[in-house]
Chain A
Amino acid sequence: MARARYWEPIAQWMFIVPAGAYLLLFFGYPIVKNVVMSFQQYTTTTFYTGAAPFVGLRNYSEILSSALFSKALLTTVLFTAGSIAGQFVLGLAFALFFHRRFPLGGVLRSLLLLPWLLPLVVSATTWKWMLDTDTGVVNDVLRDLHLQSSGIPWLTGTSQALVSVMVVNIWVGIPFNTTILYSGLQEIPAHLYEAAKLDGAGPMASFRHVTWPLLRPAVNVVLVLGAVYTVKVLDLILVVTGGGPANATETLATQSYELSFQQFEFGRGAAMSNVLVAISLTFAFVYLRAHRRAQHA
């Protein structure tokens, strides 16, 4: 018995130590390493000589003062806000639609998940082709309907490209929004709707006084997680526009990738990605607060 008591705490810890070690190595280490790198002049030469001199805040001051940064920041904000607004409104509409019971409803709802399950690179590649100026199906349709004689440069026009990548990202994000909001709707007790009906509430009034307040926890989760996922979107933009044309779709995430892996300025890339981390962490705290409130509700 004494032996068991001695071993017990160690045995318990053995369950959690491997996962903890992994998380420390693959999240803890990169976060710390990025902070250190962001104060260093860390370039390709570093890989040969091992020398990465500390340069203080120079990486940050260079990045923050560059014209591209303020543009990329604005693009990130527009991309995130536009994507979330679009996927939330459409996702909510789909959730409300599927909340009514009708034949095939369940099958259709599960098919709706497909855009979210496909690899992002696959969706992005397909959209890239659909939006092609000369050979894309979107312009084909517009021409056939005589809405447009020459093709619209969806991805190569500086004023269209950002909207185009947003549309693709909205398409990808709708299923997630629908799924979470739908499960939120399912948890609202039916008798509340019956009570509202007895009080003479129409569909609009019962949405405002029953659905919306009770859906709030799910709405919070969807909006904050959406923001966290969207600020760091990288693959979609890289594939669809590559950040172009003329940096029109360059975000903080694509900038950070380019600095590190195309210009091999790892120090500046790290500084850029730390700005992204700071933004994500802000959302993280909003998320945790919303989460806690949802659990206490």
Chain B
Amino acid sequence: MKHAPNRGRPSTIVGIVLLAVMLFPVYWMVNASLQPAGNTLQGGWFPFHPDFSGYVTALRDQGRNLVTSLIVALGSVVLSLGLAAPAAYALAHLPIRGTNFVLFGVLITQMVPGIVVANALYSAYNDLGLLNSYLGLILADSTAGVPFAIIVLRSFMRGIPREIIEAARVDGAGRLRIFRSVVLPVSANSLITAALFTFLFTWSDFLFALTLTTTETVRPITLGIYEYIGAHTNHWNAIMATAVAASAPAAVLLVIAQRYVAAGATSGAMK
């Protein structure tokens, strides 16, 4: 009944129109990035004569910030998964007392506004010399990744049959061996999901970049765009070219790892 072909086609057209409206801002960003420099948009609705000077300016001014974001995001992925994967395994399979208490704590962290963390970290970082450092940003940005990864990984690891783990145990493997050579390989998909989201959270972070960096030495791309709007309002093409560059990871994820993205969204929220 659902295969009747002419029932589908009008829906497809409506869907394309809805999507076109929803994604117009994304199109407009790309279009604007390809226009010549200037305060107003002379080029019009389509980039018929694409002008790449915006990208040249953006790369010159912001290239370094892109690299900074990449370092911080990758660092945060390593730290978040390194902390979350063993914890998720323990919360899913080990008979540890207080599991519910820990899980409750993890859920509560999702409710804590970033400004609270930033407010306290600023003074602590000031004492510890962690302001304007990669390490400081990686540690702070992982506040999004660690709890999220624990929730996603635990909900997956709970589904690993006990028999597999028991079998390895009978073979004489210790907890660490079981974790490394049984649990982690089986959980590859959920590890990818958690890693993708942690990367995106950190790459998109603005608040910690804004509050915990004060110089240009370690400046993520999100803060780079923000400073740009303040300084170069007559170079909208360069601002938008930077925005396009900063969107690249999201676009790549959507194309390559689309199924992990939807899985992460639902398992992070529902379980």
On whether the beta carbons of B86 and A15 are closer than 8 Å, the reply is yes
Docked-complex contact A277 and B270, CB < 8 angstroms: no
Contact A22 B222 (CB under 8 A): no
For residue B56, CB closer than 8 A to chain A, the reply is no
A127 to B: closest C-beta gap in Å: 6
Q: Identify the stretch in B46-54, B106-114, B159-167, B187-195 within 8 Å (CB) of chain A at 4 or more residues.
A: B106-114
A234 x B204 contact (CB < 8 A): no
Instruction: Tell me if A103 and B254 are in contact (CB < 8 A).
Output: no
Residue from B14, B23, B116 within 8 A of A276 (CB atoms): B116
- Is B186 part of the binding interface, using a Cβ–Cβ cutoff of 8 Å? no
Q: A103-B12, A121-B206 are contacts. A27–B119 as well, Cβ < 8 Å?
A: no
* Chain B residues closer than 8 Å to A130, beta-carbon distance: 25, 28
Name the distance in Å between A157's Cβ and chain B's nearest Cβ.
Answer: 19
A266–B119 contact, CB under 8 A?
yes
Q: Is the CB of A284 within 8 A of B107?
A: yes
B126 with A47: CB separation less than 8 A: yes
* Given the contacts A26-B140, A122-B243, A126-B240, A105 and B12 also touching, CB distance less than 8 Å: yes
B86–A16 contact, CB under 8 A? yes
Q: Within 8 Å of chain B (Cβ to Cβ): is A228?
A: yes
Q: Could you say which of A26, A47, A121, A260 contacts B119, with CB atoms under 8 Å apart?
A: A260
Residues of A within 8 A of B94 (CB): 12, 15
> Which residues 171-226 of B have a CB within 8 angstroms of A?
174-176, 179, 200, 203-204, 206-207, 210-211, 222, 225-226
Contact of B229 among A180, A183, A239, A288 (CB under 8 A): A239
Answer whether residue A64 sits at the interface, using C-beta atoms and an 8 A cutoff.
Answer: no
- Flag B69-106 by CB within 8 Å of A: 1 or 0 each: 00000000000001110110111001110000010111
Interfacial chain B residues near A20, Cβ < 8 Å: 87, 102
Tell me the residues in window 135-165 of chain A with beta carbons closer than 8 Å to chain B beta carbons.
Answer: 135, 137
A5 adjacent to chain B (CB < 8 Å): no
Q: Are A234 and B207 in contact (CB under 8 A)?
A: yes
- Contact across chains for B113 and A232 when beta carbons are under 8 A apart: yes
A72, chain B: closest CB distance, angstroms:
13
B82 CB contacts on chain A under 8 angstroms:
18
Complex interface: stretch among A28-36, A77-85, A198-206:
A28-36
A253 with B204: CB separation less than 8 A: no
Residues of B within 8 A of A108 (CB): 12, 15-16, 18-19
Q: A12-B175, A183-B270, A232-B115 are in contact. Are A118 and B123 (CB under 8 A)?
A: no
Known: A15-B86, A16-B90, A221-B270. A260 touches B25 (CB 8 A): no
The answer on a CB contact under 8 Å between B247 and A118 is yes
Cα(A79)–Cα(B244), bound, Å:
28
Q: Give chain A residues whose Cβ lies under 8 Å from the Cβ of B152.
A: none
Report the minimal beta-carbon distance from B157 to chain A, rounded to whole angstroms.
Answer: 11
User: Does B59 sit at the interface, judged by CB under 8 A?
Assistant: no
User: Could you tell me the distance in whole angstroms from the C-beta of B73 to the nearest C-beta in chain A?
Assistant: 11
Contact bitstring B50-66, A, C-beta under 8 A = 1, else 0: 00000000000000000
Q: Shortest distance in angstroms between A108's beta carbon and chain B's nearest beta carbon?
A: 5
A54 at the interface (CB under 8 A from B): no
A234 to B211, CA, bound (A): 12
B261 touches A117 (CB 8 A): yes
State the interface size on chain A (CB cutoff 8 A): 90
Q: With A11-B175, A23-B146, A29-B120 known to touch, is A123 a contact of B25 (CB < 8 Å)?
A: yes
Known: A101-B8, A103-B12. A22 touches B121 (CB 8 A): no
Cβ of B36 to closest chain A Cβ, rounded Å: 14
- A179 contacts the other chain (Cβ, under 8 Å)? yes
How far apart are the CA atoms of A239 and B239 in the complex, in Å?
A: 13
| Bound Cα distance A112, B40 (Å) | 29
A235 to chain B, nearest CB (A): 4
Which B residues lie within 8 Å of A222 (CB)?
269
What residue in chain A is nearest B139 (Cβ atoms)? Answer: A26
Q: In whole angstroms, how far apart are the Cα atoms of A281 and B251 in the complex?
A: 34
Per-residue contact bits, chain A 214-235, to B (CB 8 Å; 1 contact, 0 not): 0000100110010010011011
A166 contacts B by Cβ under 8 Å: no
A-B contact list, 10 entries, CB within 8 Å? A12-B95, A12-B175, A18-B87, A19-B87, A26-B146, A117-B250, A125-B225, A222-B269, A261-B210, A269-B115
- Given contacts A19-B150, A34-B116, A97-B18, 13 further A-B pairs with CB under 8 A are A12-B95, A16-B90, A26-B143, A27-B105, A37-B119, A102-B12, A118-B26, A121-B204, A123-B25, A183-B270, A256-B113, A257-B211, A276-B113
Ranked nearest first, the 7 interchain pairs of A and B with the lowest CB-CB distance are A30-B120, A19-B87, A119-B204, A15-B90, A102-B11, A102-B8, A117-B250
Measured CB to CB, the residues of B under 8 A from A are 2, 7-9, 11-12, 14-16, 18-19, 22-23, 25-26, 28-29, 32, 39-41, 82-84, 86-87, 89-91, 94-96, 102, 104-124, 126, 139-140, 142-143, 146-147, 150, 174-176, 179, 200, 203-204, 206-207, 210-211, 222, 225-226, 229, 236, 239-240, 243, 246-247, 250-251, 253-254, 258, 261-262, 265-266, 269-270
